[in-house]
Amino acid sequence: MKTLVPILGDQLTPTISALDGAAHADTIVLMMEVADETTYVRHHQQKLAYILSAMRHHAAHLRDLGWKIDYVALDDVDNSGSFTGEIGRAIERHLPDRIVVTEAGEWRVAAMIDAWETLFGIPVDIRADRRFVADHAEFDAWADGRKTLTMEFFYRDMRRKTGLLMDGNDPVGGRWNFDKDNRKPAKRDLMMPRPLRFDPDDTTRGVLALVADRFADHPGTLDGFAWGVTAADAARQADAFFAHALADFGAYEDAMLTGEPNLWHSILSPYLNSGLLDPLDLCRRAEAAYSAGRAPLNSVEGYIRQIIGWREFMRGVYWREGPAYVERNFLDHHRPLPDWYWTGETDMHCLAQAIGQTLETAHAHHIQRLMVTGNFALLIGTDPAAVHRWYLEIYLDAYEWVELPNTLGMSQFGDGGIVGTKPYISSGAYINRMSDYCGHCRYDVKQRVGENACPFNALYWDFLARHADKLGANPRLALPYRNWAKQPDAERRATRAQAAAFLTSLDADGAAG
């Protein structure tokens, strides 16, 4: 039976379920670079270059493995610009008896695939994506009947299911979670690991020229593009992480340093999310490093939790909540993102650092995203859908299934508490505790009011005051609300006036939607 197997840009895994049981002789693997995918948001230029180059390298790899590949390049003259258009054209070329495809990662593309059987009149077999620990039914079975979805409990089930860091029925080390040990500020260190840089080969150079030509108006720069684009590159970066960074990853997970974009983070999420690395394989390697005494439990547990806990939980929430999740706006926030989220031109040093490196590399680590760019966007009352769009555009590892619940749910509390139990907000003090940013800033992190006061301070209290009706009864915010109530009236008035003046000047400076 002649079978057409479309492989999407985030399905770059040779063992993808769509190829299960397929034979080289009667299978056509179809890969499609299409305008719809490159422009449905204004992806960072490096994100486009990465995906297109990784797709081209993956096609070459599959060809080497013996598969017949039909590859549609973005600048092919007859390219229709959409997945559905290209499936139609491929059906005319190959006259397949059926289509076999692995389920899409996001609602938008899943809806297209769902329409193919009726549209083209041939059977379409949509297979589960085996690259995740829990499938949709398993997540739903776990979530059904629970009043609140707590990642920690889901994570424990994933530990039990995979056997990772388990000692019989108990967690290794007697605790499920070692996060308490993972909040150390970092000191500059000459021995700090650096992620590998990969020189562009001919294929990548071709893609860089294509992106420069067609997408020069997209955010970010192509200068210094150094991402790996093959499974072999990704494996080398993983080796480097396990050898040099995992041991200290946990302790410094929430730390930030000026001019140090990566610290001890793995920088593997782009490869993981496009399929060049296998999540469980990474977890097993981390576990082996612990067993061999090469990395402490707090680092290894924290790393594994990111993958089988947090990442899987995000996917579960995304599919469970449905396509309307993107419209959730619990706090009724409507401010556009400031223009300078696209330039990094702000005198707040922490934001200039996090945004500047993002524009340069299409990457920032999770605490920069959460504590700096996300925290600020939330404190000023940005429309969560606008924050979501920015993260989806700007980060190389961002696909909607993982980015949307992280941004709209965890970072912006737009879902009112499905993903997080309270809004992730902090004043300047916490940024100061976890970074050296404030020491390089023109604002004074110790001041709340006045020309030099760090804007995060007044904005933090103003946020709490503004949302007292919705958040005042949240037990996890009881302490800051008590603290706010104890402050003298004059101080509270001055704080709110400071925040109002800041927001007015922000709006006057202009904002982009």
Binding site for ligand DLZ (CB under 6 A): 8-10, 32-34, 37-38, 43, 48, 51, 104-106, 109, 399
Give the shortest CB-194-to-ligand DLZ separation in angstroms: 27
Residue 385 or residue 402: which is nearer to ligand DLZ going by CB? 402
Residue 14 or residue 416: which is nearer to ligand DLZ going by CB? 14
Residue 120 or residue 424: which is nearer to ligand DLZ going by CB? 120
Residue 51 or residue 267: which is nearer to ligand DLZ going by CB? 51
Report the length, in residues, of the chain: 513
DSSP annotation string for 415-459: TSSSS-SS-----HHHHHHHBSSGGG-SSBTT-SSSTTB-HHHHH
Among residues 447, 436, 385, the alpha carbon closest in space to that of 414 is found at 385
Q: How many helices (H) and strands (E) does the chain have?
A: 23, 9
Give the shortest CB-41-to-ligand DLZ separation in angstroms: 9
Q: How far is Cα 220 from Cα 230, in angstroms, rounded to an integer?
A: 22
Residue 43 or residue 365: which is nearer to ligand DLZ going by CB? 43
Structure tokens at 368: 């920069």
Give the shortest CB-38-to-ligand DLZ separation in angstroms: 5
Which amino acid, 331? Answer: L
Task: Answer yes or no: are the C-beta atoms of 354 and 369 closer than 8 Å.
Answer: yes
Give the shortest CB-280-to-ligand DLZ separation in angstroms: 21
Among residues 193, 6, 208, 206, the alpha carbon closest in space to that of 88 is found at 6
Q: How far is Cα 276 from Cα 54, in angstroms, rounded to an integer?
A: 9
Residue 135 or residue 157: which is nearer to ligand DLZ going by CB? 135
Give the shortest CB-396-to-ligand DLZ separation in angstroms: 10
Give the shortest CB-402-to-ligand DLZ separation in angstroms: 10
**CB-closest chain residue to ligand DLZ:** 9
Residue 210 or residue 454: which is nearer to ligand DLZ going by CB? 210
Give the shortest CB-484-to-ligand DLZ separation in angstroms: 42
Q: How far is Cα 84 from Cα 88, in angstroms, rounded to an integer?
A: 6
Angle formed by the axes of helices 202-214 and 45-64, to 10°?
140
Residue 54 or residue 380: which is nearer to ligand DLZ going by CB? 54
Q: How far is Cα 19 from Cα 7, in angstroms, rounded to an integer?
A: 9
Give the shortest CB-217-to-ligand DLZ separation in angstroms: 15
Residue 50 or residue 252: which is nearer to ligand DLZ going by CB? 50
Give the shortest CB-6-to-ligand DLZ separation in angstroms: 8
Which letter does DSSP use for residue 311 in this model?
A: I
Structure tokens at 299: 């680092």
**Tokens 């003090």, residue located:** 429
Q: How far is Cα 412 from Cα 402, in angstroms, rounded to an integer?
A: 14
Which letter does DSSP use for residue 496 in this model?
A: H
Q: Identify each DSSP E strand in 275-391 by its residue range.
A: 337-338
